Amino acid sequence: MAKGDNSSASFPKEKSARQEAFEREACEKLEHAAKGEDEFAWLLGQASLLRSQHHAALDWTNLAEELEEMAGLQRDKVVGLLRVVLHHLLKWRYSKIRRSDHSWSVSLVGARVEVNDMLADSKTLRNELPELLAKAYRGARSIAGVQMRMDKHDWQRLFPDDCPWTAQQVLDEDFFPDLAPNANGRS
What was the pLDDT predicted at 2? 42
Q: Please answer whether residues 1 and 8 qualify as being in contact, where contact means their C-beta atoms are separated by less than 8 angstroms.
A: yes
Kindly state the DSSP code that residue 180 receives in the 8-state scheme: P
Within a domain: residue 98? yes
Number of independent structural domains in the chain: 2
Angle between helices 39-52 and 17-32 (to 10 degrees): 150
Distances (CA, A) of 87 to 9, 34, 134, 138: 57, 41, 13, 10
Report which listed range, 12-21, 33-42, 131-140, 147-156, is most confident. 131-140
| Whether residues 93 and 132 fall in one domain | yes
Residue 30 belongs to a domain:
yes
Q: Are residues 75 and 154 in the same domain?
A: yes
Same domain, 52 and 128: no
In a shared domain, residues 74 and 113: yes
Examine residue 182 and state whether it is found in any structural domain, yes or no: no
- 74 and 152 together in one domain: yes
**46 and 88 together in one domain:** no
Full domain range(s) for residue 31 = 15-58
34-71 per-position pLDDT tens digit: 556 667 677 778 778 788 887 787 778 887 888 888 88
| Domain contains 144 | yes
* pTM more than 0.85: no
